[in-house]
Amino acid sequence: MDTEQDKVDTAAIATLGAGCYWCVEAVLQQVEGVLGLRSGFMGGAGESPTYEEVCSGTSGHAEVVQVRFDPARLSYADLLAWFWRLHDPTTLNRQGNDTGTQYRSVIFVHDEAQKATALESKAAADASGEHPGPIVTEISPASEFYEASESHQDYYRRNRVQGYCQLVIAPKLDKLGLDS
């Protein structure tokens, strides 16, 4: 029988950007095998960027969710399958009304195995015909992860009645067959 320590020792990390991190977090926290996640920023210049700096579009960071998952229950390839479904990977620097490089579609890879899987997954998703155009998702080496403030963590669960949650996140969850 696995102990909690065994699960921690075998957990893997993935870092994904697919528009607003509140949307990504709301979807992935319902995926079996996800052990935990944190919203934050990656891929830009400067240390410890604030939400306001990232939203200005000048820091170069993307809004991301760093996912801790159990690879025995959820493979990296299956996690990426969720990634392709939860956003439109064919729009450059845009998801819905959210525009700017901070909302880019990006997979930050933590090792060569993740890079190979991400490239293969992207090619398969692009060839699937399930998307309205060519996939523009960036695949880049992971860099320093800067965690967003606590008020941005677990946002949907804590703010379901907020306008953005009702108009953007809840319909996305419904479309994916998840609890809203």
In the annotation, is 165 catalytic? no
Question: Helices in 92-177 by DSSP H: which ranges?
Answer: 112-127, 155-158, 163-164, 170-175
- pLDDT at residue 7 is higher than 80: no
Going by CATH, does the domain composed of 4-175 fall within 3.40.50.1950?
no
* 65 C-beta neighbours (distance < 10 Å), count: 26
Beta-sheet pairing, 138-141 with 34-42:
unpaired
- pLDDT at residue 79 is higher than 70: yes
Q: What is the pTM of this model?
A: 0.94
pLDDT at 9: 72
* 105 C-beta neighbours (distance < 10 Å), count: 26
Query: Taking the chain, what is the end-to-end CA distance rounded to the nearest angstrom?
Result: 33
Which residue type sits at 65?
A: V
Residue from 20, 23, 55, 165 carrying the catalytic annotation: 20
- The average pLDDT across 63-73 equals 98
pLDDT interval class at 8 (50, 70, 90): low
* 154 C-beta neighbours (distance < 10 Å), count: 16
- pLDDT at residue 4 is higher than 90: no
- pLDDT at residue 42 is higher than 50: yes
Which among 15, 94, 89, 102 is positioned nearest to 60, based on CA atoms? 102
> What percent helix, strand, coil does the chain show, rounded to 5?
40, 20, 40
Residue 60, classed as helix, strand or coil, is coil
Average pLDDT, the chain: 94
